[in-house]
Amino acid sequence: MVTESTISPAKQQNSPKLSQLNWTHSFLVVSLHAGGLLGLWFWPRPVDLVLFLGLYLATTFAIGIGYHRLLTHRGFVSPRWLRRLLAWMGAAALQGGPARWAAIHRRHHQMADKHGDPHSPLMGFLHAHVGWVMTRDAKEGSDYREIVPDVSGSDPWLRVLDYKVLFVMPWVLTALFCFAVAGWRGVLWGTVLRTLTLWHLTWCINSVCHVLGKRPNMTRDESRNVWWLGLLTLGEGWHNNHHARPAAAVHGWRWYQIDVSGYVIRLLARLGLIRNVVREPQI
């Protein structure tokens, strides 16, 4: 018989009790996956594909450039209007408010693949991929805006996104936009399936990029570069580079490491729209 004291912390993490569930996130994850199955019956028309691709690119850039490289790692300095735009488009990816996202991700970097990492595959691949989203975070119930006070500062346009469940507002607006343009099938492809696609690709950075791929930099964790995730996430797949130099705004360090978000950041800097870009190592 297995007594509670013989179950490892990792095992406990893999088998969450009902009280450990984050009900809001679990509901969203289950219902969106169920809704996404409708895609098997309702194939996309050209307008649906345009909505899917356009909103996929907008929200992927907003998560990678906005939530991750700007707000979490402060890889460059941005004007307020661009910061707000990136934060609202990032929230339209339905990955929580910017302060919560940044607080959890900073903890990942501090404790990467050690006890306290919110989503290490050492606790199980499925936990690193989606399980951690559906369970309560160690800081759940806290005001994440106070934990990472630099992320949203006193800007009400950012702070509102971390107030209770208001992070869903921009996502609901994208759904309404899709409905206005292309009806329910537009919502299915431009909102539901687009969100699911980016969810799984973002989650792959936490799961696949800590298990498979190359480790050119000897970091003190299991982070890896995965070229195909680099392409699909517009640059986030160069995760071993990123762990080696977290603040660097560009994650692709060699010419063949395609990092489209990095190219956009360089372009914005060249246009004078952003400044103080944290440089990657010259190798």
Binding site for Zn ion (CB under 5 A): 223
CA distance linking residue 173 with residue 52, whole number of Å: 15
Residue with smaller CB distance to Zn ion, 168 or 277: 277
- The owner of tokens 């345009």 is 50
C-beta of residue 205 within 8 angstroms of C-beta of residue 63: no
Q: Which residue is nearest to Zn ion (CB)?
A: 223
Shortest Å, Cβ 102 to Zn ion: 9
Give the separation between CA 231 and CA 251, rounded to whole angstroms. Answer: 12
Six token digits for residue 219:
């970091």
What residues form DSSP beta bridges with 88? none
The CB-of-120 to Zn ion minimum distance in angstroms stands at 8
In whole angstroms, what is the distance from residue 233 CA to residue 253 CA?
Answer: 16
Comparison of 55 and 248: residue with beta carbon closer to Zn ion: 248
User: Of 190 and 213, which CB lies nearer to Zn ion in the complex structure?
Assistant: 213
Quick one: residue 272, left, alpha or beta (phi over 0 = left, psi -120 to 50 = alpha)? left
Q: Which is nearer to Zn ion, 191 or 261 (CB)?
A: 261
What b/e readout covers 49-75, taking b as 16+ CB neighbours within 10 angstroms? ebbbeebbebbbbbbbbbbbbbbbbbb
Closer residue to Zn ion in complex, CB, 135/223: 223
- Of 69 and 185, nearer to Zn ion (C-beta) is 69
Reported in sequence order, the residue ranges of the chain that DSSP labels E, i.e. its strands, are none
Least Cβ distance, residue 78 to Zn ion (angstroms)? 17
Nearest distance from C-beta of residue 280 to Zn ion, angstroms? 14
Candidates 179, 180, 187; CA nearest to 36 is: 187
Kindly state the smallest distance separating residue 83's Cβ from Zn ion, in Å.
Answer: 18
At its nearest, how many Å lie between Zn ion and the CB of residue 17? Answer: 27
For the CB of residue 73, give the shortest distance to Zn ion in the complex, in Å: 6
Phi and psi of 218, rounded to 5°?
A: -80, 75
Nearer to Zn ion, 191 or 223 (CB): 223
